[in-house]
Amino acid sequence: MNIKMSAKSLIITAVTVVGFSLASFTDPGERFFEIAKNLDIYATLFKELNRYYVDEINPNRTIKTSIDAMLKSFDPYTVYYAEDEIEDYMTMTTGKYNGIGIVTSNRNGKIVVMLIDEGTPAEKSGLRIGDEIVKVDGIDLAARKINDAGKLIKGQTGTAVKLTVKRYGTDKLEEFSITRDVVKMKNVPYYGMINNEVGYIDLKDFTSTASKEVRTAFTELKGKGMKKLVLDLRENPGGLLNMAVDICNIFLPKESEIVSTKGKVQDWNKTYVGLNAAMDTEIPVTVLTNSRSASAAEIVAGVIQDYDRGVLIGQRSYGKGLVQITRDLTYNTKLKVTTAKYYIPSGRCIQAIDYSHRNPDGSVGKLPDSLRRPFKTIKSGRVVYDGGGVLPDIEVDKPYPAAVTLALSNKFILFDYAIKYHFEHPTIKPAKDFELTNAEYNDFVKWAVTQDFDYTTQAEKDLNLLEASAKRERYFENISEQLKALRNKLSHSKEADIMKFKDEIKTALEQEIVVHYYLQKGTREQSFAKDPEIQEALKLFTDMPRYQSILKGN
């Protein structure tokens, strides 16, 4: 029975996907014959596998794998959601879930609280980052080998969950009874005044309340005397298209063209315009982007650039100029399918030309001029380019962290020390004023070198490749002594490296410590003084002739 249902579900799903995605044949009848033929082949193949394969086949997992592989051949954004993934899908699109507001991780078999959202039941209960959750409603997580405690902790609003917790510095177990509530992940986790006249809005998502949150933040900052604005779109993966349109409308007049979508289904092609009166068309704006600013975030950045409404600062954005819609499938499953590309007012499509060749972080990287087409901005006629992401007006280099810094972060050395520091220091200065002393940093160094972590520098990796090539090509004996001497010079000392990259590591450690006291709001306020993009924006705001010159293309 399960096999028949899975095959039927597969056929219905595949028809939906193929109907949207296959290139059209010259004869529609021939196209649908090919669809039916290949689906029949697939169903027959699956039945034969199930009957004769040496091991038992899980129909749900097997078919999910095949669907995922098929969709991956189209683009990275066309995705199938199985029934057990629908809750995660709803959280992603609405920014809401029923729970207590924590993020946990399995650390060597221990379930540890890694993050607590502000204003949630978890924060109000007194739970701390770094707490180890031993039991959930009496269920021993270690004994039951439960890796994902989130499913046990989430539940219906108004119900209570009892957590048994072990806290750093004591063997005594504490119990927290926390009443679940609707947890709303904020699109704007922080906004405030950087100084007397510069406001800051950190926009991290585009769920259904994004525009409302930005408008609220903008109004409050204006009330506090804001005369210039930094809009931070870094690390923003995008979201709902209509939210991007309405946020652009905050800065642009009613009826301004914001974005157009063009795809296979002509009836779905549409031009979106501002529907409301702008909140402010004159306030100087800088928009911060990086390689993880994508989709709706790129619309906002690109539109502000196209209308010469503000100056973009940072790194080239991700390069996702595609529109997805969600289609309901049978058995409570869903398909998110790419249906169109979007074009911003200058005529640019910011979609990366090639899906398959990207940087490690997913961004498109630098494109040759031959693959980029010039366009002009609406007001000043400045030249801007398509071909993968939005290029900032002022580029700020993003130095790659040292190998030791990455190791300290990825191996949770910084996180563990922050727990220790929090235990030893019940209070610290306000987030914006907090800084480790040299003596405190030296204490960290002494502790860190005793911890179990190691790393390989890029130079050491390159030397390993050189040595392997020399052996393969039989030159190793001739250069073995030189390679050995070079390896000795490159051999790293943990303590020496932690001191060599002190500024970089100290900044990361201060950020990690501050979040334990002041959560996300604190990390943002603490970063203002050292954030290179924010500092570049503040520098530009002190030189308004330069700001205007950039917008005029001079």
CA distance 377 to 306: 5
Which of 271, 345, 353 is CA-nearest to residue 319?
A: 353
Q: Which of 295, 317, 346, 363 is labelled catalytic?
A: 295
User: 380 catalytic, yes or no?
Assistant: no
User: 295 catalytic, yes or no?
Assistant: yes
Q: What's at 102, amino acid-wise?
A: I
Which tokens in the block code for residue 92?
């992603």
CA atoms within 13 A on the CB side of 431: 20
- As a dihedral over the C-alpha atoms of residue 485, residue 489, residue 490, residue 491, rounded to 10 degrees, the angle is 90
Q: Is the distance from CB of 204 to CB of 217 less than 8 angstroms?
A: no
CA distance 394 to 288: 10
Q: What's at 376, amino acid-wise?
A: K
Q: What's at 471, amino acid-wise?
A: K
Q: Cβ contacts of residue 219 below 8 Å, gap of 6+?
A: 279
CA distance 376 to 22: 34
According to DSSP, the β-strands at 322-328 and 311-314 are: unpaired
User: 171 catalytic, yes or no?
Assistant: no
Instruction: Name the strand (E) or helix (H) holding 335.
Output: strand 334-343
Q: Which of 117, 131, 246, 306 is labelled catalytic?
A: 306
- SS3 track for 38-53: HHHHHHHHHHHHHHHC
Q: Which of 64, 204, 320, 494 is labelled catalytic?
A: 320
Instruction: Name the strand (E) or helix (H) holding 477.
Output: helix 476-490
Helix-, strand-, coil-residue percentages of the chain, each rounded to 5 = 45, 20, 40
Sign of CA dihedral 341, 69, 332, 37: positive
Q: Is the distance from CB of 320 to CB of 300 less than 8 angstroms?
A: no
CA Rg, the chain, in Å? 27
Task: List the beta bridge partners of residue 79.
Answer: 336
* DSSP secondary structure code for residue 206 in this structure: B
Q: Catalytic residue positions?
A: 295, 306, 320
